[in-house]
């Protein structure tokens, strides 16, 4: 069992927790993820490591309440425990030789982008951060990005905070003005990452994207997280859990990934509704 040390609501649907997991905290690096089960009968879900404190033996996770398991997790409080917390899994974000980087986060994807930005900052790289949200009430981690970025641009779709528009607007402005980056790293909704890639394509700047497809075991056995890449004119299959989650954005078949991501949307919606109804009947979390 793994104890929840702290719990904090970042916005109405996004929760931050610190989990007591000393062995994971000792090894995890930005870009890697864990797989957890809330209870013995629960499903396995992957969540990206949002920070570690090896001295305290804690791992930070940030999750959005979108399904049955995250709904169950949100009803846990500090002092409670969860059943399983396995990791670190996946390949850490590549940082060697990168001196100037643009990190782009969309929505809850900012929880993944933030430790990556912090790592580059700690290594002495020049960090430009662009974060995007639908509206002001959904903004998360603004102070954290400000602290680790030479330039920090915040966008909202409706203009209620920061600049109005999506994350590709300032990116395109900077690239057209001659700004050079060793790497652009985009983390967020698939459609956002797709358009970041297309914005950068005419300028030839490398783009890394963090993929979060359907995943079950996290060890490459189930094949659920497979992605189709095009490399040197050939289509190849890779697995996000063992080959990623970071990939060359120019190689990813985003349309296929989006189609696969919608496969179980009806099932997930029904499971979420059933879980919500269960908590209402029992009065838990009220």
User: Residue 276 falls within a domain, yes or no?
Assistant: no
Which of 68, 89, 110 delimits the end of a domain?
89
d(CA 275, CA 67): 9
> Are residue 104 and residue 227 in the same domain, yes or no?
yes
Q: Are residues 72 and 137 both part of a single domain? A: no
More confident residue, 102 or 283: 102
Q: What is the pLDDT of residue 286?
A: 40
| 23/133 same-domain check | no
How many distinct structural domains can be found in the chain? 2
Q: Does residue 112 share a domain with residue 60?
A: no
- Considering the entire predicted model, what is its pTM? 0.86
* Domain finish residue from 89, 120, 138: 89
CATH number at residue 246: 3.40.50.80
Same domain membership, residue 184 and residue 55 = no
* Same domain as 106, residue 7: no
Q: Check residue 218 and give its pLDDT.
A: 76
Residue 272 lies in a domain: no
Residue 267 in domain: no
Q: Is residue 286 part of a domain?
A: no
The string of pLDDT tens digits covering residues 151-190 is 999 999 999 999 999 999 999 999 999 999 999 999 999 9
Average pLDDT, the chain: 90
* Mean pLDDT within 69-82: 93
Residue written as token pair 């951060």: 129
Same domain, 140 and 18: no
At 83-138, the pLDDT tens digits run 999 989 999 999 999 999 999 999 999 999 999 999 999 999 999 999 999 999 99
**How many angstroms separate the Cα of 176 from the Cα of each of 167, 188, 199, 218, 254?**
15, 23, 10, 40, 25
Domain match, 202 and 247 both: yes
In order of 25, 148, 176, the CA distances from 266 in angstroms are: 35, 39, 42
Is residue 14 assigned to a domain?
A: yes
Give yes or no: residues 247 and 106 share one domain.
yes
CA 189, CA 121: separation in Å to the nearest integer? 24
Same domain, 84 and 127: no
Domain match, 214 and 75 both: no
Q: What is the pLDDT of residue 110?
A: 94
CATH label of the domain that carries residue 60: 2.40.30.10
Is 95 contained in some domain? no
Q: What is the pLDDT of residue 241?
A: 87
Q: What pLDDT is recorded for position 223?
A: 81
Q: Which of 70, 89, 108 is the last residue of a domain?
A: 89
Q: Kindly state whether residue 280 falls inside one of the protein's structural domains.
A: no
Whether 77 is in a domain gets the answer: yes
Whether residue 233 is found in the same domain as residue 106: yes
Phi and psi of 58, rounded to 5°?
A: -120, 150
Give the domain range for residue 222: 100-261
């Amino acid at each position: 069992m793994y104890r929840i040390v702290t719990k904090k609501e970042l916005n109405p649907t996004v929760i931050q927790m610190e989990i007591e997991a000393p062995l994971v905290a000792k090894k995890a690096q930005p870009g890697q993820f864990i797989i957890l089960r809330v209870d013995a009968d629960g499903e396995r879900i992957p969540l990206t490591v949002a920070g570690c404190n090896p001295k305290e033996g804690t791992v930070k996770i940030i999750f959005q309440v979108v399904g049955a398991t995250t709904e169950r997790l949100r009803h846990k409080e500090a002092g409670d425990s969860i059943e399983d917390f396995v990791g670190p899994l996946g390949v850490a974000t590549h940082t060697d030789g990168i001196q100037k980087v643009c990190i782009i986060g969309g929505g809850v994807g900012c929880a993944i982008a933030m430790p990556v930005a912090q790592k580059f900052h700690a290594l002495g790289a020049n960090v430009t951060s662009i974060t995007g949200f639908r509206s002001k009430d959904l903004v998360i981690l603004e102070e954290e990005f400000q602290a680790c970025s030479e330039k920090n641009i915040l966008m909202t779709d409706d203009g209620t905070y920061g600049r109005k528009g999506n994350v590709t607007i300032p990116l395109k402005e900077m690239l057209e003005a001659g700004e050079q980056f060793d790497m652009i790293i985009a983390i967020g909704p698939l459609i956002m990452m797709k358009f970041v890639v297309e914005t950068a394509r005419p300028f030839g700047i490398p783009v890394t994207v963090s993929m979060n497809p359907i995943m079950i075991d996290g060890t490459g056995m189930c094949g659920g997280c497979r992605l189709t890449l095009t490399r040197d004119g050939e289509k190849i299959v890779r697995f996000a859990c063992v080959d990623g989650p970071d990939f060359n954005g120019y190689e990813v078949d985003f349309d296929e990934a989006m189609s696969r991501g919608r496969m179980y949307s009806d099932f997930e919606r029904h499971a979420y509704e059933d879980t919500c109804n269960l908590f209402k009947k029992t009065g838990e979390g009220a």
